[in-house]
Chain A
């Protein structure tokens, strides 16, 4: 083995023998902070007004809107095809002519 590698190995081995002083325990208030973090994450997940629910609601609302508009559109289309677009205009002209005759 390369002497440098051997020295590095021995150095690392000696260093690994040092055990760090363990932390005394959870810092003051950490338990509360952790619990609060869990609660807030949970409220986002289970909350009514989360993004996923809102998106689902929007999609459902647009589908209902589409379905409810469908009959109205159909009736407009059918009334357009049966009536003559110039009928009202001709009727108006007729009435003008007849009123002129009476005078």
Chain B
């Protein structure tokens, strides 16, 4: 669907056309699902959250002013809903080597032993290890690290998605990165 088609569809929806509303719903669903899944590690809550975001978008559809692209608007609702969900999850105080699975411990060893990129077979364990490391961060910092390093989003994009200023993003990124480094160095010290 092009931008013009989305605008036309939204106009029809504003006039009360339910078919247009359903078209918008099916158009945005994959985008919302992808965004929520990327920002929430737990799959079960991701499905619930996708539903929550879709219902929220639909109930505010008539309030969409068109000042920003439709996807930006939807993305911001999705990211803020994810952030609220993350805030409800408990933070883990720390990650210890003993808490890691065998594969995750192997990833730590590989990283320390060789300077090259990790093998494809280590990717899943790396993801799990990153999830555990991120779990010690504050919710806002956790979301920021995901957007920056796992989704590779740029500063402007993150500002659009979260509504945070560029300077706030920089401060949070610096703080979160420092904390991650500290946690990771503790893991390395435990690694014989």
Residues of B within 8 A of A23 (CB): 33, 37, 46-47, 50
Asked if residues B117 and A13 are in contact (CB atoms below 8 Å), the reply is yes
Q: Which residues of B contact A34 (CB under 8 A)?
A: 21, 25, 54-55, 57-58
Bound Cα distance A27, B118 (Å): 36
Q: Are A10 and B152 in contact (CB under 8 A)?
A: no
Tell me whether A31 is interfacial, beta carbon within 8 Å: yes
Which residues of A (5-19) have their CB < 8 Å from a CB of B? 5-8, 10-18
Who on chain A is nearest to B29 by CB?
A26
> Does the CB pair A7–B112 fall under 8 Å?
yes
Known: A8-B184, A23-B33. A33 touches B51 (CB 8 A): yes
Residues 41-86 of B contacting A (Cβ, < 8 Å): 43, 46-47, 50-51, 54-62
Do the beta carbons of B188 and A4 come within 8 Å of each other? yes
Cα-based distance from A16 to B181 in the complex (angstroms): 18
Number of A-B contacts (CB under 8 A): 113
A41 an interface residue at 8 Å Cβ cutoff?
yes
Tell me whether A35 is interfacial, beta carbon within 8 Å: yes
The CB with the most chain B CB atoms within 10 A, among A10, A33, A40, A41, is that of A10
Interface size on A, residues (CB 8 A): 34
Asked if B11 is at the interface (CB within 8 A of a chain A CB), the reply is no
Q: Is the interface of B mostly helix, strand, loop or mixed?
A: helix
Instruction: Tell me whether A42 and B150 are in contact in the complex, defined as CB-CB below 8 angstroms, given that A11-B126, A15-B130, A18-B123 are known contacts.
Output: no
Report A's interface with B, CB cutoff 8 A: 2, 4-8, 10-18, 20-23, 25-27, 30-31, 33-35, 37-42, 45
8 tightest A-B contacts by CB?
A14-B126, A12-B149, A37-B59, A15-B130, A14-B118, A41-B59, A15-B127, A18-B127
Binding site for A on B (CB under 8 A): 13, 16, 18, 21-22, 25-26, 29-30, 33-34, 37-38, 43, 46-47, 50-51, 54-62, 107, 111-112, 115, 117-118, 120, 122-124, 126-127, 129-130, 149-152, 177, 180-181, 184-185, 188
